[in-house]
């Protein structure tokens, strides 16, 4: 049995759950991090669920070190981190967003992936095997939209962060491969939240509904397959 280990955030549903299933079906071991519970461990012996709220950024380093302490790293063939978890809200003009709304969003969608990446690189620095980090991004990181300031900003930050870390790693003898992946529009709970709002609440809700009704959304499993291809070795920025 091959011994590849993947740490995936947001495995209780959507893209994260499908990606975890695909990896597990291939015989990989998965450590899934999610705020909610998961039943994947009932089906897959090599799945370990870690229930953790990524809003709690001050304990993420302890979280990663704790996970890696459970893994016999000497026998690992490849190890990866997939920063998939994110949130969409608040979906409203910035003057209607409370400080708490903004703080929670940026902690989960931007600060947490940054800290996860930092800790992952630090605690695996002694390993000579392939190490990979995939940060799930969005076209919203490049295209501004009304009432989406928090989301667009966090995804733009993910893109720039990924480029900076990739440049840092380029000078290492055993660099971590760091990639930002834009999945496109996906039929996830985040998309359902956006299209479920009224035009008064969120000006672009109609556009999200149209994309759904016209069948323009990718399935979470298809996106998970694309991410799996990156984990299998394809390099894409």
| CA-CA-CA-CA dihedral for 34, 35, 36, 38, to nearest 10 | 20
Measured CA to CA, the distance from residue 134 to residue 197 in angstroms comes to: 30
Q: Which of 44, 123, 151, 212 is catalytic?
A: 151
The half-sphere exposure of 136 on its side-chain side, counting CA atoms within 13 A, is 28
107 DSSP 8-state letter: I
Measured CA to CA, the distance from residue 234 to residue 177 in angstroms comes to: 11
Structure token digits, residue 231: 């984990």
Measured CA to CA, the distance from residue 229 to residue 235 in angstroms comes to: 9
Specify whether the CB–CB gap between 111 and 117 falls below 8 A: no
Pick left, alpha or beta for residue 119 (phi over 0 → left; psi -120 to 50 → alpha; otherwise beta).
alpha
**Bridge partners, residue 136, by sequence:** 181
Helix (H, G, I), strand (E, B) or coil at 201: coil
Told to judge if 151 belongs to the known catalytic residues of this protein, a careful annotator would answer yes
Measured CA to CA, the distance from residue 118 to residue 178 in angstroms comes to: 12
The residues assigned a catalytic role are 151
């Amino acid at each position: 049995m091959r011994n590849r280990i993947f740490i995936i955030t947001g495995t209780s549903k959507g893209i994260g759950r499908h990606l975890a299933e695909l990896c597990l079906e291939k015989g990989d071991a998965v450590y899934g991090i999610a705020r909610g519970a998961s039943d994947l461990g009932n089906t897959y012996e090599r799945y370990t669920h870690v229930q953790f709220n990524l809003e709690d950024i001050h304990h993420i380093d302890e979280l990663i070190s704790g996970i890696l302490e459970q893994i016999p790293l000497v026998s690992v063939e490849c190890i990866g981190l997939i920063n998939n978890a994110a949130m969409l809200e608040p979906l409203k003009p910035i003057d209607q967003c409370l400080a708490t709304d903004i703080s929670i969003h940026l902690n989960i969608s931007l600060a947490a992936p940054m800290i996860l990446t930092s800790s992952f690189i630090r605690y695996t620095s002694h390993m000579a095997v392939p190490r990979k980090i995939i940060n799930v991004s969005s076209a919203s990181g490049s295209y501004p939209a009304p009432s989406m300031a928090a989301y667009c900003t966090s995804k733009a930050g993910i893109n720039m962060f990924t480029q900076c870390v990739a440049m840092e790693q380029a000078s290492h003898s055993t660099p971590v491969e760091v990639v930002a992946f834009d999945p496109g529009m996906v039929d996830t709970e985040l998309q359902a939240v956006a299209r479920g709002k009224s035009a008064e609440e969120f000006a672009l809700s109609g556009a999200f509904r149209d994309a759904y009704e016209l069948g323009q959304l990718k399935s979470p499993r298809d996106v998970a397959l694309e991410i799996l291809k990156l984990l299998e070795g394809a390099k894409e920025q």
